[in-house]
Structure 1
Amino acid sequence: MQARVIGAGVAGLCVATELVARGCEVTVFDPSPRPGPHACSWWAGGMLAPFCEGETAEEPVVRLGQSAADWWARQGVSVERRGTLVLTLRRDRRELDRFARRVAQHETLDSAGLAALEPDLEGRFDRALHVADEAHLDPRAALRHLRARLEHAGVAFVAEPGHAKGLTFDCRGLAARDNLKDLRGVKGEMAVLRSADIRLTRPVRLLHPRYPLYVVPRADGLFMLGATQIESDDVRRTVRSTLELLSAAYALHPAFGEAELVEVGVDARPAFPDNLPRLVRRGETIYVNGLFRHGFLLAPELAREAVEAACDGSKPEFWHEDHD
């Protein structure tokens, strides 16, 4: 069977991977010759954290996201399985209590337990939560790896927009608003710091009633900071959000105050009104979209369901028939 994939972000590459596993002949259409900042998934944190996301996300995110780490590992992507740490400043203790009530899969740590997991945080916090069954990856490395793996498998990548013809999977993200009218953009901003003065081995979430933060360690002393979520598709970088991210990082550890500011990025994530993904079929085109802030967490499962629907005729969980 021949299939076309439009878009080579995380959704498109996952769909192409599932198609190849089915023995399909696949062509991927994307205007860029390689993964890069044009794709929303380039700016992702890479946290495979279904339980933590369950603090605010719907039940399917928690349930389906639990298979993500294994899927990425099966593709040969380096996945770090060290869990997630959740912290608050002392004055925000109630935020940690609230989070603990909403997230069942956690262990409560005292200061000694926290120091045993992350020695560089010793003495800074007297209580923390450790969500052990979570993982993280480097999104940019994962995108590059999937693309190289697909090219090695014979998938053709064509640097043009592409048009629906035959069985087509439209994975263009927010650009698909020309056909998915209720798709909206949710702005997310991030920063990358480099520091030789602090070492973390797992993602850390710092809860705050106004300025929540997550810090994800990467190679070579790099740390990705994120957490902004703004109802807008305006992709300008703002001073306010950058200051909030950097101030929260400094509150987590003062060593971040001397870190090198390597990069500041922003993009708009595609989301439907319920913040859940959808598979929308119109004729021979299946739209794979609405991953919101769960791209690397849900793309593998959504891709599997989309390909299963096309190959086997099933109607999976996020299926929508559109006859307009």
Structure 2
Amino acid sequence: MSTVTILGAGVAGLCVATELVARDVPVRVVDPAGGPGAHGCSWWAGGMLAPFCEGETAEATVVAMGQEAAEWWTRAGAEVTCNGSLVVALGRDRQELDRFGRRTEGHAALDRAGLATLEPQVAERFDRALHFRTEAHLDPRRALRALVEGLARRGVTIAREGTPGPRVIDCRGLAARDALPDLRGVRGEMAVLRAPEVSLSRPVRLLHPRHPLYVVPRGDGVFMLGATQIESGARGPVRLRSAVELLGAAYALDPAFGEAEVLELGADARPAFPDNLPRVVARGDTIHVNGLFRHGFLLAPALARRAADHVTGQAATERMHENHAER
């Protein structure tokens, strides 16, 4: 089988490369940046493998395909924490928690006593929660490094430039708008804090009608806070308004965050199609894997499998929604 050239070394490109190599397909990865880093939206991801929580706004296809993620990442060598996830709301926003529960599945309702058995510190401020027991999370940066190292062990490195061969898989994200003009950017901003006085062992989502927040533990008292969702392809520093909203929501979740050290503020634009569903689309000798929106680490494994099925002739290229039209 001829070598497949993969354009882009973000989460989509690295997952595709890992899946193909596992099937003994020769690959090479080309990325002008030389690999994952702060220049790409994969670097600023939350790393929540939470398909049922995403079902609050996403279609059933996202929920179904996202359930493949934790197992795939574990096999790929990433450290996956399977402690589930929690959803809470302040007293004035109780209706938000009820609405979230009606729109999702795979959860159990907890009272204060039940919550205290999982997260005692959270139970000090909240008397109700939804527990999504089967969900998981990972550290995106460590997971990306695990993929790079796994590929290197198979002799695959990331080149900064190279002439594509006859078989190409384009995973360039927003840079692929030259070929996929209906892609748009959705800006997400996040913060990384060190808060030794805060104790969480699983992601916690704080519902709010204007400023929802999720907090993901990274270990050693470090937490990732995210994330805004702004219709903009702008990249660059975090805006003051977003930083205030993120940090204020964290303080509302637990006042102990008030003493946290702000380690990082970061932002990037995530690629999305108009319907917010990703696509695997074959055009000639090129397969496009794109439009992961805010579901990068959750859905990249499923899309990688489908792209690899097409390359190896195991299945026709699939698109994630029957009404998707190639443009």
Do residues 30 (structure 1) and 31 (structure 2) align?
A: yes
What's the CA shift string for 1:197-237, capped at 9, x where partnerless? 01100000000000000000002211000021011111242
Q: Secondary structure at the match of 2:270?
A: strand
What are the equivalent positions in structure 2 for 1:55-94 lying under 5 Å apart? 55-94=56-95
Instruction: State the Cα distance separating 1:25 from its structure 2 match.
Output: 1.3
Do residues 115 (structure 1) and 116 (structure 2) align?
A: yes
The 2-side partners of 1:321 and 1:50 are apart by 25
Do residues 3 (structure 1) and 16 (structure 2) align?
A: no
Amino acid at match of 1:192: V
CA contact (8 A) 1:26 1:156 kept: no
Instruction: State the Cα distance separating 1:22 from its structure 2 match.
Output: 1.4
Give the aligned partner of residue 211 of structure 2: 211
The 2-side partners of 1:321 and 1:247 are apart by 41
Give the aligned partner of residue 176 of structure 2: 176
Number of aligned residues: 322
Could you say if the C-alpha distance between residues 106 and 321 of structure 1 is closer, same or farther in structure 2, counting changes exceeding 3 Å?
closer
Percent sequence identity over aligned pairs = 64
Give the aligned partner of residue 295 of structure 1: 296
The 1-side partners of 2:141 and 2:34 are apart by 15
The 1-side partners of 2:223 and 2:171 are apart by 29
The 1-side partners of 2:29 and 2:318 are apart by 25
Instruction: State the Cα distance separating 1:321 from its structure 2 match.
Output: 8.7
What are the equivalent positions in structure 2 for 1:247-286 lying under 5 Å apart? 247-286=248-287
Amino acid at match of 1:203: P
Amino acid at match of 2:48: M
Structure 1 unaligned blocks of 5 or more: none
Q: Secondary structure at the match of 2:219?
A: coil
The 1-side partners of 2:133 and 2:163 are apart by 44
What's the CA shift string for 1:107-131, capped at 9, x where partnerless? 1111111111012223210111101
CA contact (8 A) 1:281 1:321 kept: no
CA contact (8 A) 2:306 2:317 kept: yes
What's the CA shift string for 1:257-316, capped at 9, x where partnerless? 110000000000000011111112221111110000000000001011011012116224
Structure 2 unaligned blocks of 5 or more: none
Give the aligned partner of residue 18 of structure 1: 19
Q: RMSD over aligned Cα, in angstroms?
A: 1.4
What are the equivalent positions in structure 2 for 1:45-60 lying under 5 Å apart? 45-60=46-61
Give the aligned partner of residue 136 of structure 1: 137
Q: Secondary structure at the match of 1:104?
A: coil
Name which of structure 1's ranges 79-88 and 230-239 shifts more when overlaid on structure 2. Answer: 230-239
Do residues 106 (structure 1) and 107 (structure 2) align?
A: yes
CA contact (8 A) 1:164 1:285 kept: no
Give the aligned partner of residue 186 of structure 2: 186
The 2-side partners of 1:277 and 1:321 are apart by 12
CA contact (8 A) 1:282 1:321 kept: no
Amino acid at match of 2:116: A
The 1-side partners of 2:163 and 2:269 are apart by 23
TM-score of the aligned structures, taking structure 2 as reference length: 0.96
Do residues 225 (structure 1) and 225 (structure 2) align?
A: yes
